[in-house]
Every structure is written in C-alpha cells, then in structure tokens.
Amino acid sequence: MQYEVKALRGNEGLMMLSLEAADAIDAGIQAKALGYTVLATKAKQRWPSLLRRRAKFPLVLFSQELVALLKAGLPLIEAVEALAEKEDQPDARKTLTRIISLLYEGHPLSYALEKSSGEFPSLYVATVRSSEKTGSLAEVLSRYIVYESQMESVKIRVITASIYPVILAVAGGLVMLFLMVFVVPRFSHIYADIGTDLPFMSMLLMRWGLFLDDHWKAFLTGVLMMSGGIVFAASQPGCKQWAEQKLWQFPALGKRLQLYQMARFYRSLGMLLQGGMPVVSALHMVSGLLRESIRPQMALASASIQQGGSISQAMEKYGLGTPLALRLLRVGERTGRMDEMMERIAAFHEDELARWTERFVKSFGPLLMAFVGMIIGVIVVLMYFPIFELAGSIG
C-alpha cells in the first residue's frame, strides 16, 4: 500500500514522500533509511489493486547509472543510496532501500539483489556474483547492459516487422465487422420490402443481416466477452504454456523459436564465461532459458562436461547446437576463446532469425491483404448482386 510521508532532511526543507510499504511503520523505516526525519505518515488513496499495475523495475537504467557512479569513484553503498534518493517510482525506491539495508548488514550485492522480491533475474544475480570474485563489478555490469541491448534489439526487429501484418489484419477485421453488423442488415430490409428472389448465397447473407439486426446487442456483447476472455486467458501462465507448445508444433515457426532460444542461451553463456564463471556453473544457470522439454538434455550435457568431456561433443551428442554452432565451439576449444565463439554463435543465429522474419513478412503481408480484400469483395458482391440482376431484367 502507498503512504504519504511528511519529512525533513538537512537544508532541503519540508518534503512529501510517496512510499510503497506494508504499513505506516514500514513507511517510516524506509524514510529514515533514506536519511529523512519523519513528521507524519498517512495512507494514500488509490485505485483498487486489480486496476493498478505494478511498475517494472528499470533494470537497465539502474545498471547504467550504477556503472557511471562506480567509475566516478563512489563506493557501492553510496552509489546505490544516490540512486535511491533520485528514484521517483515508489516500488523501485522500496527495492533500492531494501538493498541498502542488506548492504549495511554486510551482505554482498548479489545476496541483496537475490532477496529483493524477484525484481532481478537470476542471470543478473549470477553475473554480479561472478564479479564479486574478481572485483570488476562495473565491467561485468557493462557487459550485461550490452547483452540486454542486443537481446532487446532482436525483439524490436521482430516486433517492428510484425506491425504491418497486425495492423492490416485488425483493419480488415473491423471493416468486415462493420459490413456485417451495420451495412448488411440495411440491405436485408430493402430486399425484404422488395420481395425479389435472391441467389442462394445472397439469401444466406441477407438472413444473417436480419438476424444481426434483431440481436445486435447480444452479438456485440458476445464479441466483447470473447475478446475479454482471450485477453484474460493470455495473461494466465497455463494458457501461455499451452499456446507456446502449439506454436512449437508448427515446423517452420518451431524451428525459428528454437533458433531464438539457442541465441539467448549461447549469448548468456558467453557473458557468464567472460565474467569468470566456471562452465558447468554457467550451464546450470542458463538452462532456465531453455524450454522444459530440452532441459533434461542440458542436464546430461552438463554432466558429460563435468566428467571431462568437451563442450562441443556434449552439445552435439544431446542436440543442443546447430552445425555452425558446433563448428565454432570446436574452434573456441582449440583457441581457448570459448566466450567469444559463443557471442559469434548468438550473433549469427540472431541475424538468421531477423532475415527469416523479414522474408516472411514481405511474403505474408501481400497474401494477407489479398485474403482480406477477397473476403470484403465477396461480401460487397453478394450485397449488390440482386441489384445487378434487377437492373438486367429491367433492361
């Protein structure tokens, strides 16, 4: 729950803070941890929690600012305190306050991040933990920022390529809905008054129009309920897993999903190896990026590597690499530059995925446009066909 805290600090004067806390006492403790003298605390009125979406912690921005402060010479605790003081989001400020309190208790940063209510991915925590052994936190965080930027660029390229087909499908669907709900019923009444014999398909369309004209409220209510049900189902983890399994069953799409998954896997693995983490520990850490059906193979490959086997042989034996990936892994084993080879594997897979997405959109867009145009054209022709026949008979 959010609380408004009236507080003082130094020469800053009277201030009103907005904090996310379990109760008023917790809000006062958070304010004191930030160096404020608490004067009064009261609950803040807000919308019900079902209508309020919790803001996501700005992980990349936090990492960038922390790297800048560390490179400027600030100690870790002072750097995090500086970030907490300027943070505007109550949830993010609460997370940073919790981290600061754990750091003052003597815990390492990785432990503080791990205990911060799931705000930080396990890969991020593992990256920070690997830096604590070498003392290169700023360098490791910089690599993670690059990693996140590269993965985000892949998502943006895919989403950008998908915008045009989605807009086309939505626009076509709205046009068809308008024709069927508003235009066809008007023509149905006209033909009913004229009493002209209609072709079979036109008659079916007109009957549909008359039905919608009598029950349009129930129809629109059903459409809205179905849309709401789809949105609700899409937010449920079980439905997401079911939809993902169905997508993986399509040969062409499943192959590309696996390509994206392997790109994330190898890029994450390469980043952890660059941070000095042992390969077996890194494999255990990034296995969560793979779908559940592949994780047993990953466990077997990890056990094989732990027993002294090579990475390329283990990946090849358990089907965890493309031919190009296996070839680059062998090169990395011979040269000792395994982390660099894994970065190259990920970059190649990402480029291949982007090229396939671009080709697919270029071919699918015109096909979708032709399909939508054909459906709309059929509806219009069936509406006007009786008029054409009537005009021909008059002539």
The average confidence (pLDDT) of the chain is 78
Predicted pLDDT of residue 297: 85
More confident residue, 331 or 353: 331
User: For residue range 321-347, what is the model confidence (pLDDT) as tens digits?
Assistant: 888 888 888 898 888 888 888 888 888
Predicted pLDDT of residue 42: 75
pLDDT (average), residues 275-282: 80
pLDDT score of 393 more than 60: no
List, as own/partner pairs, every contact residues 97-105 make where C-beta atoms lie below 8 angstroms and the sequence separation is at least 24, other chains included.
Answer: 97/30, 97/33, 97/34, 100/33, 101/33, 103/76, 103/77, 104/77
More confident residue, 211 or 8: 211
Predicted pLDDT of residue 394: 56
Predicted pLDDT of residue 49: 41
- Reading the block at residue 31, the tokens are 């304010």
pLDDT score of 218 more than 80: yes
User: For residue range 2-59, what is the model confidence (pLDDT) as tens digits?
Assistant: 677 777 766 665 667 676 666 677 677 767 766 777 777 777 654 444 334 456 788 8
Predicted pLDDT of residue 45: 55
Give the largest CA-CA distance in the chain.
96
Band the pLDDT of 350: cuts 50, 70, 90. Answer: confident
φ and ψ at 17, to 5 degrees? -100, 150
User: For residue range 142-174, what is the model confidence (pLDDT) as tens digits?
Assistant: 888 888 887 787 778 777 777 878 888 888 888
Predicted pLDDT of residue 323: 85
Please give the DSSP secondary-structure letter assigned to residue 50.
Answer: G
Predicted pLDDT of residue 21: 64
- The CATH number of 147-395 is 1.20.81.30
The answer to whether the beta carbons of residues 97 and 34 sit under 8 Å apart is: yes
Got the DSSP string for 67-122? HHHHHTT--HHHHHHHHHHH---HHHHHHHHHHHHHHHTT--HHHHHHTSTT-S-H
Predicted pLDDT of residue 50: 37
User: For residue range 104-130, what is the model confidence (pLDDT) as tens digits?
Assistant: 888 888 888 888 765 688 778 877 887
Hey, what amino acid is at 13? G
| 81-90, 191-200, 236-245: least confidently modelled range | 191-200
Least Cα distance to 119 among 202, 54, 41 occurs for 54
Band the pLDDT of 207: cuts 50, 70, 90. Answer: confident
More confident residue, 385 or 330: 330
More confident residue, 244 or 315: 315
